[in-house]
Structure formats: C-alpha cells, structure tokens
Amino acid sequence: MRISELRISGSGLIVDGVDLEVSGGETVGLVGESGSGKSLTARAAAGLLPKGLRATGSVMLDGRELLGARERVWRSVRGTRVSLLMQDPFAMLNPLRTAGAHVAESLRGRQDRAEVLRRLAEVGIDDPAVAGRHPFQLSGGMRQRVALAAALAADPELLIADEPTTALDATTQHEILMLIKGVQRARGMGVLLITHDLRVAFELCDRVAVMYAGRVVEQGPPAEMGKAPAHPYTAGLLAAVPTAGRRLHRLVGIRGSVPAAAEVSATCAFAARCDQATPECAHARPPLRELRPDRLTACLHEVRPRISVEEGPRDRRRVTDDAVLRVTGLRKTYGAHVALGGVSLHVNRGETVGVVGGSGSGKTTLARCVLGLVRPDAGTIELADPVRPRHRLVQCVFQDPSTSLNPALTVGATLAEAAAQGPEEGRLTVAELLELVGLPASYAGRRPAGLSGGERQRVAIARALSVRPALLICDEPVASLDVSVQAHVLELLREVGTSMVFVTHDLAVVRQMADRLVVLSRGEVVESGGTAEVLDAPAHGYTRSLLASVPATP
C-alpha cells in the first residue's frame, strides 16, 4: 500500500500531507504522541474514517486508487486484502458470538470446523473448546488472539494493527507481537503497526515513521534512529523511554503538548517545544528531506546527541522502618478461581513497593482489598493509624483518569470536594494542589474534557493527595499514557514523598519507581526483594520470563 499526500480534515486540519508505503513482508511502525494523527491515518487507509471527517490525497493498493471509492469497493478490500486489528478486542468481537463464529465469518465460504480450529491454532489457541466460548469467557490476551485469528482468516496482504498490545501484560504482549511477526514471515504479509510504545516499534519494525501534529517528521530503520535520531522530536521521545536495566536519576519528558495540525501548517510543528529552534523554524515549514536512501527528516538542523541521564540516588524521600501497611496471609477466591492465595507484604513509611505480574496474577485484587473495595476471605490488612478513616489513610490513582473524574465538575470543584474530606489542619487550597502537580491555577476552571490525558492524570494525583494520605495505591497509573507524558507523571510521583504500592505489568516503569518489588503469579508471591536485586538477578523462573518479554530499550 502507498499513501501519498494524505490530508484529513473535520472542523480543522488534522492530518497534513502524510506519505507512507508498506511493502509485502515488511513491518512499518507509525509512532508519536496522542493527537499526532496516527490512528486516523490508519483508519483512512482502511476506509473507516469517522463521520464528519474527510480525506484527500491518495491511498493506492496494487495500482488501484481507494481513497474516494464507493463503500462497496472498500468492502471488497477491507477484511480480505486489508485487515484491521484494534487495541481493544471488545471493539472487534461481537459479545453474542463465539470465538469460532468470528473466525468462520472471516473465512467466507471455508467455514468447516477443522479450518476454524486450524486458524485458531495459528495464533496459539490449541484448545478446541475455545472455539465455542464467547468473548467474556476469555482473558484479554485470549480475546486478542481470537481477534487476530479473525483478522488473518481471509489471508490479507496488509494487516493494520492499531495499538494491538497496549492493554496487555508484558508476557502476553510479547506473545501477540511474535505471533504477528511469525504469520507475516510465513505469508509475506505487510504490517502497519501503530503504537505509542517506542520499545515495541523499534524491536518489531523494519522501518519506523515518527508522526507529529499530523505529519511525518522522521523515517528510517529503527537501529539507525535509535543511535542517531535526525529530528529533535524523535530524540525527545527516545530520551523519555524508561529502561528495565537501570534506574535513571531523572525521567525527562518533552515540555508542552502536541498542537493541532491546523495551527502549525506553515511552520515547523515542533518549534514551540524544541530546545534547538531558531527564528527560521517559525517562518517556514521544513520539508521531509532525504538524508540518504530510506532515511528522512523534517528538521533544518543537525540534531544534538541524546543526553544520557545516568543512574543516581533513589530520590529525596526518607524511608523509615515503621510500616504504613502490613498485609498478612491475604486470601480471596471467586468460585473455583483463587485470586489471592495467602499474600503477605509490607510498605514502610516513605517507601514505594512495586507489585508486578501478568494478567490474572492478583495485582488488582490485592490493591482493591487494601482500598476496602473488595472483602478478602482470610488474612489481615493493618494500616498505620486504624482510628483514622480509611479514605484519609489510603488513596488510589487509577489507570484511566477519564473514568475516575466527574466530567460535569470543574477541576477546582473536584479538588475542593476532595480536600474537604481531609483534615482541616494544614489543608491545601485548590491552587496549592494544582501547583503540587505542576499545573497552573487557571486549570481550576476547566473540565476533564478540556485536558490532555497527562493533565487529567495530574488532577487525579492532586485529588488523591488532597486528604494527605499515608499511602497511595497506584494501579497502572501510566499504562495508557504516551512515553513523554509518562515520564512527567512518573517523575511527579517520585517527588510527592508519599508511601506507595505501585501496581504495574511494566518492569521498565517499576524499575524507575520501586524500592522493593513483589512478583505475583496466580495469586501467590513467587519472589520479592530489592528492585535492583530482583531485576538484575531474578531467582524465580516466572520473574525471568517477565524480564525476557520486555522489549529492548532503543
């Protein structure tokens, strides 16, 4: 497929002149922050733009122009020659249909059970009983496998995978990506991978295109780009990527946020956030020029080398030996499923304890028990001050702040309401809470819909801190954030000084956050100890398998 001069507009310009090509047997990654136009570019290539948006330019498949074609033409291509794999399999799978029915529908005339089972086996589902199960009866990783089997059943020439592993744990993510790679090699299929995870893109792709504010600003082989990025935006993204190999003294994100394409159509789109910008950057739009074959950049200058942020002291928090939380022998079952099988851990004052493991390991059940949202079947949970109300002792920062903030309330009203639940002595004002999380006081008048994902998460953190809790439970707080925003939020959490239980499936993130680590598998603690000790010399096979699944840091 060849995409040329693609422009997408609605009430304003969103994608501004994208050129991209994917050949058979090649994997091309499309990376960039939210708002860059990655997903809309993919949807335009599949003829699935939302209503109200219009695309111009060219989308060619084997010499055939698709952009502007009638829907019947797209239907003859979509799902057969071009397939789409989405981030959330629930968006692709009908909850009323079985896994086998989804695959059979894509086979179109080859709907015998043996062929359905063969297609499921191709994506690692060897149990024939899975074909008769509905999506709600499957794990997240299994649902994504079924969605992949359905997307591949018609033997497409191009698979467009839009954030296909974002919501999955590291082991399942690795398995899904290797499945895609294996099928691609066997069939000679092209893959367009859209992701905000640079580690995934740089490990899996043959070429990577970096999008910013609706345009491609750099393109090339990932090995070259990782060593010497040719655009400051790429360099900034790479500098923000955490690593599981060592703890960085400081996590550095790019200041500011992505502008609308319409606002920067005549200038360098990155100039306002770039430390290397000169007056000429604001007066003309730099073209995407060729440095050498297959190596393109839209920067007028030579990019400075990436600065390595060396390992340093933990941070400024003071850790003491008195426990803020002590969990002993915690058990929780759901029918025959053992979610927690006797888990014990403690968190000292000023300490961050990371809890890691794959899906179904019991991480979230443990967090919900400590928060009082789930009643355990057995065991004890001791908090530092049993007389103080639990909501003043323990607060939580969830993965998706858009579902935990009331959309009808302004930021100021949300924070004022939360602060009123805390102690009167030393109560922080709304302006002080916003300053604490690095937001201006003017944000008090905004509603969540008017904030970026990172800004909403900062507000969620401010709300959690408003009651001055002794313990903060962070349940995948950066899993849905872009790498640059993630760096800002993690650095903020490292600075607040509150004791934390940090729940995550990302070992690179937990390396930057935790003093000690607890590894859960099937509801049991299989390994624990100092973070560096566990990650540098894992003693348990499950921990070693988690580490082996972490994509290499570019």
Domain ranges in the chain?
2-81+156-297, 323-548
b or e along 49-63 (b: 16 or more beta carbons within 10 Å of the residue's beta carbon)? beeeeebebebeeee
* Residue at token pair 């959330």: 88
CATH number of 323-548: 3.40.50.300
- Cβ of 126: how many Cβ atoms within 10 Å? 8
Residue 230 CA: distances (Å) to CA of 145, 226, 267, 301: 36, 10, 18, 9
Please give the chain's pLDDT, 554 residues, in tens: 999 999 999 889 999 999 999 999 999 999 999 889 999 999 999 999 989 999 999 999 988 999 989 999 998 898 889 999 987 777 778 999 999 999 998 887 666 889 999 999 988 899 999 999 999 888 778 888 899 999 999 889 999 999 888 767 888 888 888 989 988 998 899 999 999 889 999 999 999 999 999 999 999 999 999 999 999 999 999 999 999 999 988 888 998 889 999 999 999 999 999 989 999 998 889 999 999 988 999 998 888 765 555 554 445 556 777 899 999 999 999 988 899 999 999 999 999 999 999 888 999 999 999 999 999 999 999 998 765 667 678 999 988 777 789 999 999 999 999 999 887 777 889 999 999 898 899 999 999 988 887 888 999 999 999 988 999 999 989 887 889 989 999 999 998 889 999 999 899 999 999 999 999 999 999 999 999 999 999 999 999 999 998 888 88
Cβ proximity of 203 and 29 under 8 Å:
no
In angstroms, the CA 468 to CA 427 distance is 8
CATH number of 2-81+156-297: 3.40.50.300
Nearest residue to 5 (alpha-carbon basis) of 19, 21, 15, 20: 19
Say yes or no: do domains 2-81+156-297 and 323-548 share a fold.
yes
pTM for the whole structure: 0.89
| H helices present in 59-129, as ranges | 71-77, 99-107, 113-122
Biggest alpha carbon distance in the chain?
73
Long-range contacts of 105-113 (CB under 8 A, 24+ apart): 105/150, 106/79, 106/150, 106/151, 106/153, 106/154, 107/153, 107/154, 108/80, 108/154
* Residue at token pair 């060219």: 58
Q: What's the token pair of residue 122?
A: 């191709």
